[in-house]
């Protein structure tokens, strides 16, 4: 889109949130330079995470495909000076380096203040008060969100959801907070230091949809989590799935007509299992491909999974 053309950001982070934030800025037209130590690269690309799960290498590629990646020797004086020049010409920094490394590279908060330039620096931390370290799964659990996923299930072992929802939201919040810091630093012509937190971001982004008041009601079935037959996931004849989201009256009527279901518009909000089972039975007659052909030209909010 080019909205940030002319702006330069340094990404000194690794894994998910910081790199996601940087890539979002790159997608807006900014020049984003990801700096990596030649000896200790991003763990998604080289090291423990990349070895334990091949998906992390794929994530690394797509989380950084809108950046310039520069690998330098953090112990080399010439490379250190190169980094300092990049810092001085940038508008914002995503800081993910330990304090000891920042001392070595002369980019601590004290060093950056002494440069006397309008620059926004954002750090990523786990939580303000609760924990020094946590992963995505911990943030989901502590915020109460994971209860939506586990309640009502009988398994002794429950596999976590594939997508790291908290980490993804965290990365987006980092990008937004950094842009706000850039605006402040430009306005005040000074360095602006920001800290964004995984746990607090999880609460800020998700709890409006799963508030303390809703949590007290001790139920986990809502429109968006399968309370009604018009908004649910159904298995096809070939053991695949389709997602039905016919919450609006006109979509439900057309869906019922197309699949020969004799339900009133009001029954799309029926919570008894009878409607669910009849819809499931009709869907199970067809393969996923047959449903794809059947719904061509019909706008009924029915999608192949």
Domains in the chain, start-ordered, CATH in brackets? 8-206 (3.40.50.10540), 223-304 (3.30.1540.10)
* 13 Cβ neighbours under 8 A, 6+ residues apart: 19, 21, 22, 94, 95, 96, 124
Q: Which residue has the tokens 């950084």?
A: 64
> b or e along 186-213 (b: 16 or more beta carbons within 10 Å of the residue's beta carbon)?
eeeeebbebebbbbbbbbebbeeebeee
**Assigned token pair, 241:** 């799935």
Sign of the C-alpha dihedral computed for residues 288, 289, 291 and 295 taken in this order: positive
Q: What is the model's pTM?
A: 0.91
Q: Is 154 exposed, middle or buried (0-12, 13-18, 19+ CB in 10 A)?
A: exposed
pLDDT (tens place) for every residue of the chain, 305 residues total? 799 999 999 999 999 999 999 999 999 999 999 999 999 999 999 988 888 899 999 999 999 999 999 999 999 999 999 999 999 999 999 999 999 999 999 999 999 999 999 999 999 999 998 667 899 999 999 999 998 888 888 999 999 988 999 999 999 999 999 999 999 999 999 999 999 999 999 999 999 999 988 888 877 789 998 999 999 999 999 999 999 999 999 999 999 999 999 999 999 999 999 999 999 999 999 999 999 999 999 999 999 99
CB 207 within 8 Å of CB 190: no
CA distance 128 to 157: 31
Q: How far is CA 155 from CA 114, 159, 218, 222, 227, in A?
A: 57, 9, 20, 22, 21
């Amino acid at each position: 889109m080019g909205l940030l053309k002319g702006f330069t950001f340094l990404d000194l982070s690794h894994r998910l949130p910081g790199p996601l934030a940087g890539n979002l800025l790159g997608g807006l037209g900014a020049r984003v330079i990801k700096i990596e130590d030649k000896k200790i690269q991003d763990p998604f690309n080289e090291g423990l995470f990349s070895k334990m799960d091949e998906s992390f290498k794929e994530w690394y590629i797509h989380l950084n495909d809108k950046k310039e990646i520069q690998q330098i020797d953090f112990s080399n004086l010439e490379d250190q000076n190169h980094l300092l020049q990049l810092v001085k010409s940038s508008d914002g920094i995503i800081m993910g380096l330990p304090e000891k490394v920042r001392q070595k590279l002369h980019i601590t908060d004290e060093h950056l203040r002494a440069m006397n330039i309008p620059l926004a620096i954002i750090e990523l931390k786990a939580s303000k008060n609760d924990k020094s370290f946590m992963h995505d799964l911990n943030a989901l659990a502590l915020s109460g969100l994971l209860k939506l996923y586990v309640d009502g299930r009988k398994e002794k072992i429950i596999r976590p959801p594939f997508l790291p929802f908290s980490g993804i939201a965290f990365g987006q919040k980092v990008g937004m907070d950094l842009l706000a810091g850039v605006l402040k630093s430009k306005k005040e012509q000074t360095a602006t230091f920001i800290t964004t937190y995984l746990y607090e971001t999880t609460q800020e982004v998700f709890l409006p949809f799963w508030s303390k008041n809703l949590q007290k009601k001790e139920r986990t079935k809502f429109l968006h989590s399968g309370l009604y037959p018009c908004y649910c996931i159904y298995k096809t004849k070939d053991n695949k799935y389709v997602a039905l989201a016919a919450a609006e009256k006109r979509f439900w009527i057309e869906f019922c007509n197309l699949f020969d279901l004799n339900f009133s518009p009001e029954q799309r909000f029926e919570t008894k299992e009878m409607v669910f089972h009849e819809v499931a039975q009709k869907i199970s007659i067809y393969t996923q491909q047959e449903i794809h052909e059947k719904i061509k030209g019909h706008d009924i909010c029915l999608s192949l999974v």
